[in-house]
């Protein structure tokens, strides 16, 4: 047998534990292959293989080992998996072992055993708390370019894969009468009491084995082992029809209205998630009541060298022994200030591990414990303290000062430490409640609980097992009663008793070497003292100044010790010092779990028009317009330049006829006997006088007098209008109208509903548009100028469907908008193009649409930009003086009617070959480019195929009075400085003759 | 020209792969006539009486469905209903308008919404991933409706009589333009249970409707 194999055998106990020895698993850490068993965590499997050095610390790169056996682990952070699935900062103590698992240590270079960056340890006097704040103060210009990048290179833990995550993530909602948080003794009893009564219960436990501390301790419940009792209860719960048990699920947040966030690690214990299974699932749970049964977390003691691999909290040692059948050391000692850790010593002896000493800081210790120790032949040192440790990459000894002040050295490789227990109450503070300190328990306990929550067992500071069982049963019964069920009787089983005495010590002040408070952030007792000296005495300032309690573990093992040291240094009580609060998430949650399926293209839903598929077939390129996808242009074979394509589309529409999908424009049915009055108040211009069968262009203002949205509104009956809005503002206009209807004028008889989705609508524009539509619509409707003049509209039946036609024009051409119910939109566009073939019809996209509207000087989103008034837009005369409307009063404010406000003009480059760019600012010829000389800005530009050069729209101070003058379009971002001529904002067909065909 | 062919909202949707089996079945209901019905001011009682007389349905006063063989009224907002007539034909909206003239405003929405019917063993587990609504059979009864969001897509859903397989059946209405995005999310959510596109909707049992 090789030496290594012999050591493995020695670490794994011959029998016992909740591992499945029939299922060996092989895994690799830093490239070396090891063996473990199903039921192991990565941490227990490493310890079973005597791997005790697993990482380097954050700041000083000190060697670190496995410190706990749970989610509170500050040290054993590893990179799990490889390539795209690589996940940094994974706690080895929570990773369920799977066959083929690969993990790597992090924060070391070049290797874990020889880490060059540990030179930081020698610089540690420089790296005390506040080092960065003090050192990198000046010169200020160095911060961004030199200091911050350098610090960032050195800092950070682990590396992200940098590749797309190949796995899926899921979200799910759940509803219940009772949410039980934690599957230990208290949680199981609560779920049992409620579940047996028929209550809808969800029990979440973050472990893969239900039972909590019952799995790590040797306890007796009603004559069975605690672990067996837990397994039996879990089996009963699984069989209850109204109980759902979620293993591997951590409740990480408490939110308003009885809402809880939880993360289920569905496939994290597999090399690759099962087909069609997500890797993780984010649960949003709405519960009438909840029971917090999250147990307690054991604190270490702060003493010199307390961070060496081989120093471990005492309860974790028990967990490795009892649950995983692993002896984490060969010769051990226990350092404690309480009774509970003595159990660790007894369990170690029972497992055949040599216990060198129990070092207890208390002078008076229960005689029963002393007697048991004598029976187990364990030397006891009452009133003693561990003041230092030794060992290079792992613990090889401790230095103890006994009650008489004598110093002794003990050669050991495992030190079990206990500073007492802290109620795991993070979730109780998420809605703002502050925990309260209990001197009797030496723990914070929950203050006011979130509505509907009860805390039970250790989470409430009731650390005894029989208390936990009793609390859980009572809380479950109460939840049943509250939900209207008759609680069924649940017998609280009898358990063995446990000693619970404690006299906290917190910190061995006589230690001379570095004594760590927060292992993850390398915060030492000296850092806390420095913070106290420099005035950062509040726990909130202590946290920010020293980083105590930050990062992945959020101070689960360190906060209370740090606060206690601060209390001692500043002569205050723990109650006076208090504690920081916890925010969600209670444990780290991957962003991917929150995102769920909404990644990449599916980050948000996409809206496609009825003609989308047709447009795809025509080779359209699409552009996002809010959620919509709109055809931007339709490239033909051989066309490579978008400007060339758009130019062709514009010319084809202006020469013959073009067809454009305008279905995305907002459409709102406005009905009711007061619809006309309502629209008069909404729009700046008048609509109540609009005849049936007519369309009018309308402009609406915001309450503050700024232009809001524009579009046409058609009247189909006395009590029926259909408003159209811009694509971008469709939702906002609907909200605005609903506010007006419901809040401002509930007395009006008006009904509103969006019909945007009902109508597939196509603009048909160009001199041959009437020809095209006459061919398509045949005898369905008379399209003659007399029957359907400019700004006329009609509803008619075509091919068995209700169709609508509006004679409106955004292009300035003879034009129509033709609408059919959306389920016929695909058929209609194909029919339109077929009918148009004889007239040279082409489809055109939003770019050509934009070019044609700029050629006509029609304003759009670039001009309706939330800062412009009707007058700025050249639409001042639309503001009726005969009626009131939203925005009328505030539009009269001095600032909004100032004569020198920039107003709409057209521009052309003086050198016609020059390109214009939107966003450029207007400056006088020769004027310095300063804010004082700013005269306005360019909003929209296009290359006009009809003019043969670039044209633009913009807002210029006194613009309309300066037609013919020249200014500069100054664009420092793109190094543009172009002389432009000011022209009227209509570049093509200024008389509007083409509108009438 | 001949009559135009109506296109299902799911016409371009290509179902992605899912687990084998048919934990969930989905189909698009087609050739429905849909309309929004909104009470005119002060005419609520009169409208209710008119609908009761004309359609033998009590207009639901909450998110719920009132239905007969030929027409359903889904409460989607205060004094607002989505009217669904499976065999209404194009004349249905015109006649509905005439029936409630002066009492309600009617807007044709036949092209505005896509309606999907979903059922199967895992339909509850699938919908739990999509909508923040308690769909437990005891909490959300046959005839109950809800207007909510499914994976950022606005939906109205209602519970139909259980299928012949004894499982819950729901119908969901989404804006037609969002049907593709909705189906993608639905398929993602159903993939682990096996999802099947069914030409035939899961037939409702003969249990009494409400």
**Interatomic CA distance for residues A169 and A137, integer angstroms:** 43
**Structure confidence at residue A133 as a pLDDT band (50, 70, 90):** low
| A109-to-A112, A114, B36 alpha-carbon distances in Å | 7, 7, 67
Residue A124 has pLDDT above 70, yes or no: no
Q: How far is B107 from chain A (nearest CA, A)?
A: 7
Closest of A721, A635, A716, A654 to residue A686, by C-alpha: A721
Residue A575: other Cβ atoms inside 10 A: 12
- CB-CB neighbors (< 8 A) of B44 in chain A: none
Domain end point (choices B48, B83, B108): B108
Does residue B39 sit in the same domain as residue B58? yes
pLDDT digits (tens, 9 = 90+) for A586-602: 988 999 999 999 998 88
Residue A116 has pLDDT above 80, yes or no: no
Which is it for strands A354-360 and A380-382: parallel, antiparallel or unpaired?
Answer: parallel
Residue A379: other Cβ atoms inside 10 A: 13
In a 3-state reduction of DSSP, which class is residue A74?
Answer: coil
Best to test chain A binding among B111, B113, B179 (most A CBs inside 10 Å):
B111
Does residue B124 sit in the same domain as residue B149? yes
Residue B208 has pLDDT above 80, yes or no: no
* Interface contact flag, A751 B182, Cβ < 8 Å: no
pLDDT digits (tens, 9 = 90+) for A869-884: 999 999 999 999 999 9
Fold match between domain A3-121 and domain A330-417: no
* Interface contact flag, B39 A751, Cβ < 8 Å: yes
Supply the mean pLDDT for chain A.
94
Asked if this assembly's ipTM is beyond 0.90, the reply is yes
Average pLDDT, stretch A34-49?
97
* Interface contact flag, B153 A669, Cβ < 8 Å: no
Q: Give the per-residue pLDDT at B139.
A: 96
**Interatomic CA distance for residues A356 and A336, integer angstroms:** 14
* Interface contact flag, A822 B136, Cβ < 8 Å: no
Q: Is A391 left (phi over 0), alpha (psi -120 to 50) or beta?
A: left
* Interface contact flag, A822 B112, Cβ < 8 Å: yes
B15 domain-assigned: no
Closest of A106, A800, A67, A795 to residue B3, by C-alpha: A800
Q: Give the per-residue pLDDT at A3.
A: 39
Name the strand (E) or helix (H) holding A806. strand A801-806
* Interface contact flag, A200 B136, Cβ < 8 Å: yes
* Interface contact flag, A823 B113, Cβ < 8 Å: no
**In B, residues 51-90, which contact A (CB 8 Å cutoff)?**
80, 90
Could you tell me how many residues make up chain A? 997
Please state which CATH class domain A612-664+758-852 belongs to: alpha beta
**Interatomic CA distance for residues A371 and A4, integer angstroms:** 38
- CB-CB neighbors (< 8 A) of B82 in chain A: none
Specify the CATH number for A330-417; select among 3.10.20.600, 3.50.50.60, 3.40.1440.60, 3.90.25.10: 3.50.50.60
Q: Give the per-residue pLDDT at A641.
A: 93
Contact between residue A302 and residue A506 where contact means Cβ atoms under 8 Å apart: yes
Please tell us whether the domain made up of A899-996 is placed in CATH 2.60.40.10: no
CATH level 3 topology of A169-295+423-482: FAD/NAD(P)-binding domain (3.50.50)
Of B12, B110, B178, the CB nearest to A605: B178
Does residue B147 sit in the same domain as residue B187? yes
* Interface contact flag, A606 B181, Cβ < 8 Å: yes
Domain end point (choices B86, B108, B130): B108
Contact between residue A711 and residue A726 where contact means Cβ atoms under 8 Å apart: yes
B170 domain-assigned: yes
Residue B202 has pLDDT above 60, yes or no: no
* Interface contact flag, A605 B153, Cβ < 8 Å: yes
Q: How far is B40 from chain A (nearest CA, A)?
A: 6
Domain end point (choices B84, B108, B132): B108
Residue B203 has pLDDT above 50, yes or no: no
At B161, which CATH number?
3.30.1360.120
A825 touches B: beta carbon within 8 Å? yes
Q: Give the per-residue pLDDT at A469.
A: 97
The strand ranges marked E within A609-703 are 620-625, 628-634, 658-661, 666-671, 695-701
Domain coverage including residue B126: 24-30+112-197
Of A598, A609, A757, the CB nearest to B112: A757
B152 touches A: beta carbon within 8 Å? yes
pLDDT digits (tens, 9 = 90+) for A886-915: 999 999 999 999 999 999 999 999 999 999
Lowest mean pLDDT among A49-58, A97-106, A678-687, B46-55: A49-58
Measured in whole angstroms, how far is the alpha carbon of residue B46 from the centre of its chain? 26
**Chain B residue with Cα closest to A822:** B111
What pTM value is reported for the model? 0.92
Q: Give the per-residue pLDDT at A153.
A: 58
Average pLDDT, stretch A737-758?
98
Which is it for strands A259-264 and A385-390: parallel, antiparallel or unpaired?
Answer: unpaired
At B86, which CATH number?
3.30.70.1520
Contact pairs from chain A to chain B, CB under 8 Å: 165
Average pLDDT, stretch A269-276?
93
Alpha helices in A570-611 (DSSP H): 574-577, 591-595
Lowest mean pLDDT among A581-595, A792-806, B157-171: A581-595
DSSP string, A951-970: EEEEEEETGGGGTT-EEEEE
Does residue B116 sit in the same domain as residue B90? no
CATH level 3 topology of A666-754: Alpha-Beta Plaits (3.30.70)
- CB-CB neighbors (< 8 A) of B4 in chain A: 799-801, 820, 824, 827-828, 831
Strand-pairing partners, residue B25, are B119, B196
Does residue B146 sit in the same domain as residue B164? yes
- CB-CB neighbors (< 8 A) of B153 in chain A: 605
Residue A938 has pLDDT above 70, yes or no: yes
Closest of A283, A253, A244 to residue A266, by C-alpha: A283
pLDDT digits (tens, 9 = 90+) for A366-416: 999 999 999 999 999 999 999 999 999 999 999 999 999 999 999 999 999
Name the strand (E) or helix (H) holding A731. helix A730-739
Of B6, B153, B180, the CB nearest to A608: B180
User: What is the domain partition of chain A in residue ranges?
Assistant: 3-121, 169-295+423-482, 330-417, 612-664+758-852, 666-754, 899-996
Q: What is the percent of chain A where pLDDT is above 70?
A: 95
Best to test chain A binding among B29, B98, B177 (most A CBs inside 10 Å):
B177
A175 touches B: beta carbon within 8 Å? yes
- The alpha carbons of chain B give a radius of gyration, in whole angstroms, of 17
Of B5, B41, B108, the CB nearest to A749: B41
A159 touches B: beta carbon within 8 Å? no
**In B, residues 92-131, which contact A (CB 8 Å cutoff)?**
93, 104-105, 107-113, 128-129, 131
Does residue B134 sit in the same domain as residue B185? yes
Q: How far is B56 from chain A (nearest CA, A)?
A: 25
**Structure confidence at residue B201 as a pLDDT band (50, 70, 90):** very low
pLDDT digits (tens, 9 = 90+) for A908-924: 999 999 999 999 999 99
Please tell us whether the domain made up of A3-121 is placed in CATH 1.10.3660.10: no
What is the DSSP secondary structure assignment for residue A19, as one 8-state letter?
-
Q: What is the percent of chain A where pLDDT is above 90?
A: 89
A130 touches B: beta carbon within 8 Å? no
Question: How many domains would you assign to chain B?
Answer: 2
Average pLDDT, stretch A193-204?
97
Could you tell me which residues come within 8 angstroms of residue A819 by beta carbon, excluding any fewer than 6 positions away? A759, A760, A761, A762, A803, A804, A805, A806
| Token output for A205 | 């436990």
Task: Kindly report the backbone phi and psi dihedral angles of residue B183, in degrees, each rounded to the nearest multiple of 5, phi listed first.
Answer: -65, -40
Residue A70 has pLDDT above 50, yes or no: yes
Closest of B171, B152, B118 to residue A171, by C-alpha: B152
Average pLDDT, stretch A522-528?
93
Residue B210 has pLDDT above 50, yes or no: no
**Structure confidence at residue B90 as a pLDDT band (50, 70, 90):** confident
**Interatomic CA distance for residues A93 and A85, integer angstroms:** 19
* Interface contact flag, A606 B180, Cβ < 8 Å: yes
């Amino acid at each position: 047998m090789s030496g290594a194999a012999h050591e493995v055998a020695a670490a794994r106990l011959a029998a016992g534990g909740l591992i499945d020895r029939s299922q060996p698993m092989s895994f690799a850490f830093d490239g070396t292959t090891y063996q473990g068993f199903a039921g192991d965590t990565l941490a227990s499997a490493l310890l079973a293989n005597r791997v005790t050095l697993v990482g380097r610390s954050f700041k000083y790169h000190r060697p670190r080992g496995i410190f706990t056996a749970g989610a509170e682990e500050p040290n054993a952070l590893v990179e799990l998996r490889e390539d795209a699935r690589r996940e940094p900062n994974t706690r080895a103590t929570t990773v369920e072992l799977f066959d083929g698992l690969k993990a790597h240590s992090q924060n070391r270079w070049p290797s874990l055993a020889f880490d060059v960056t540990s030179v930081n340890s020698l610089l540690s006097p420089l790296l005390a708390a506040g080092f960065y704040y003090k050192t990198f103060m000046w010169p200020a210009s160095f911060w961004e370019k030199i200091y911050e990048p350098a610090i960032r290179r050195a800092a950070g833990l682990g590396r992200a894969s940098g590749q797309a995550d190949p796995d899926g993530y899921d979200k799910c909602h759940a509803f219940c009468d009772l949410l039980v948080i934690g599957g230990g003794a208290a949680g199981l009893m609560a779920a049992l009491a409620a579940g047996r009564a028929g209550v809808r219960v969800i029990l979440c436990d973050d472990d893969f084995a239900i039972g909590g501390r019952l799995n790590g301790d040797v306890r007796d419940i009603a004559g069975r082992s605690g672990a067996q009792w837990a397994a039996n209860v879990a089996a009963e719960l699984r069989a209850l029809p109204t109980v759902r048990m979620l293993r591997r699920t951590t409740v990480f947040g408490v939110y308003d209205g009885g809402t809880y966030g939880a993360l289920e690690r569905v496939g994290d214990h597999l090399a690759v998630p099962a087909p069609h299974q997500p890797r993780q699932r984010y649960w949003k749970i709405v519960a009438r009541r909840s029971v917090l049964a999250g147990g307690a977390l054991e604190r270490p003691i702060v003493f010199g060298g307390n961070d060496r691999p081989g120093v471990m909290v005492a309860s974790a040692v028990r967990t490795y022994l009892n649950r995983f059948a692993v002896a984490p050391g060969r010769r051990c000692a226990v350092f404690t200030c309480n009774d509970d850790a003595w159990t660790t010593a007894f369990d170690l002896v029972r497992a055949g591990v040599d216990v060198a000493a129990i070092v207890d800081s208390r002078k008076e210790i229960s005689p029963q414990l002393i007697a048991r120790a004598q029976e187990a032949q364990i030397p006891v040192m009452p009133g003693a303290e561990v003041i230092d440790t030794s060992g290079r990459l792992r613990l090889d000894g401790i230095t103890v000062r006994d009650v008489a002040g004598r110093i002794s050295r003990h050669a050991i490789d495992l030190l079990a430490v206990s500073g007492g227990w802290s109620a795991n109450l993070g979730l109780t503070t998420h809605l703002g409640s502050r925990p309260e300190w209990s001197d009797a328990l030496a723990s914070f306990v929950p203050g006011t609980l979130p509505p509907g929550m009860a805390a039970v067992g250790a989470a409430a500071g009731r650390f005894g097992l029989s208390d936990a069982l009793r609390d859980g049963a009572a809380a479950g019964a109460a939840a049943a009663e509250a939900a209207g069920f008759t609680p069924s009787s649940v017998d609280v089983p009898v358990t063995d008793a446990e000693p619970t005495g404690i006299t906290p010590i917190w910190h061995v002040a006589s230690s001379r070497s570095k004594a760590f408070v927060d292992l993850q952030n390398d915060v030492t007792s000296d850092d806390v003292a420095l913070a106290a000296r420099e005035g950062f005495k509040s726990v909130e300032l202590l946290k920010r100044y020293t980083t105590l309690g930050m990062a992945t573990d959020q101070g689960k093992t360190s906060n209370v010790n740090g606060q206690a040291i601060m209390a001692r240094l500043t002569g205050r009580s723990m109650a006076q010092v208090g504690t920081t609060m916890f925010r969600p998430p209670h444990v780290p949650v991957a962003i991917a779990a929150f995102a769920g399926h909404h990644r990449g293209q599916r980050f948000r839903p996409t809206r496609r028009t009825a003609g989308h598929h047709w447009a795809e077939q025509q080779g359209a390129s699409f552009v996002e317009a809010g959620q919509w996808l709109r055809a931007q242009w339709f490239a033909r074979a051989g066309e490579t330049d978008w400007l060339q394509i758009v130019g062709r589309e514009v010319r084809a529409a202006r020469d013959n006829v073009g067809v454009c999908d305008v279905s995305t424009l907002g459409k709102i049915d406005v009905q009711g006997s007061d619809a006309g009055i309502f629209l008069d108040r909404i729009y700046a211009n008048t609509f109540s006088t609009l005849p049936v069968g007519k369309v009018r262009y309308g402009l609406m203002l915001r309450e503050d007098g700024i232009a809001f949205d524009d579009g046409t509104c058609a009247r189909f009956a006395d009590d029926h209008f259909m408003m159209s809005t811009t694509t971008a503002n469709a939702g906002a206009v609907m909200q605005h109208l609903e506010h007006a209807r419901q809040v401002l004028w509930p007395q009006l008889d008006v009904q509103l509903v969006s019909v945007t989705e009902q109508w597939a609508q196509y603009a048909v524009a160009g001199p041959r548009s009437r020809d095209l539509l006459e061919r398509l619509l045949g005898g369905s409707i008379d399209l003659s100028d007399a029957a359907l003049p400019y700004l006329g509209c009609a509803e008619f039946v075509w091919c068995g469907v209700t169709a609508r036609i509006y004679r409106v024009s955004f292009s300035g051409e003879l034009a129509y908008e033709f609408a059919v119910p959306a389920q016929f939109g695909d058929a209609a566009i194909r029919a339109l193009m077929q009918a148009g073939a004889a007239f040279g019809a082409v489809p055109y996209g939003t770019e050509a649409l934009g070019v044609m509207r700029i050629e006509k000087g029609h304003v759009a989103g670039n001009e309706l930009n939330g800062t412009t008034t009707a007058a700025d837009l050249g639409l001042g005369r639309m503001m009726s003086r005969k009626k009131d409307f939203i925005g009328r009063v505030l539009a009269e404010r001095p600032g909004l009617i100032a004569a020198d406000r920039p107003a709409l003009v057209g521009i052309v480059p003086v050198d016609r070959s020059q390109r214009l760019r939107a966003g450029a600012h207007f400056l006088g010829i020769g004027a310095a480019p300063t804010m004082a000389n700013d005269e306005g800005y360019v909003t929209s530009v296009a290359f006009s195929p009809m003019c043969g050069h670039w044209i633009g729209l913009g807002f210029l101070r006194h613009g309309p009075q300066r037609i013919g003058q020249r200014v500069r379009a100054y664009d420092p971002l793109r190094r543009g400085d172009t002389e432009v001529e000011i022209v009227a904002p209509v570049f093509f067909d200024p008389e509007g003759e083409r509108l009438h065909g | 020209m001949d009559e135009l062919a109506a296109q299902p909202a799911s016409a371009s949707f290509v179902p992605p792969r899912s687990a084998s089996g048919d934990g969930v079945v989905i189909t698009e209901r087609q050739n429905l006539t849909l309309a929004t019905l909104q009470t005119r001011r002060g005419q609520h009682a009169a409208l209710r009486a008119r609908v009761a007389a004309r359609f033998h349905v009590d207009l639901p006063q909450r998110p719920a469905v009132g239905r007969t063989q030929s027409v359903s009224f889904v409460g989607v907002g205060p004094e607002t209903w989505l009217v669904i007539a499976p065999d209404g034909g194009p004349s249905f909206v015109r006649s509905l308008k005439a029936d409630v003239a002066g009492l309600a405003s009617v807007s044709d929405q036949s092209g505005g919404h896509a309606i999907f019917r979903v059922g199967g063993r895992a339909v509850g587990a699938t919908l739990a991933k999509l909508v923040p609504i308690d769909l437990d059979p005891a909490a959300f009864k046959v005839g109950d409706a809800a207007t909510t969001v499914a994976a950022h897509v606005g939906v109205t859903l209602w519970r139909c009589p259980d299928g012949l397989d004894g499982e819950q059946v729901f119908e969901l209405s989404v804006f037609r333009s969002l049907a593709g995005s909705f189906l993608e999310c639905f398929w993602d959510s159903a993939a682990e249970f096996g999802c099947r596109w069914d030409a035939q909707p899961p037939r409702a049992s003969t249990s009494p409707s409400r």
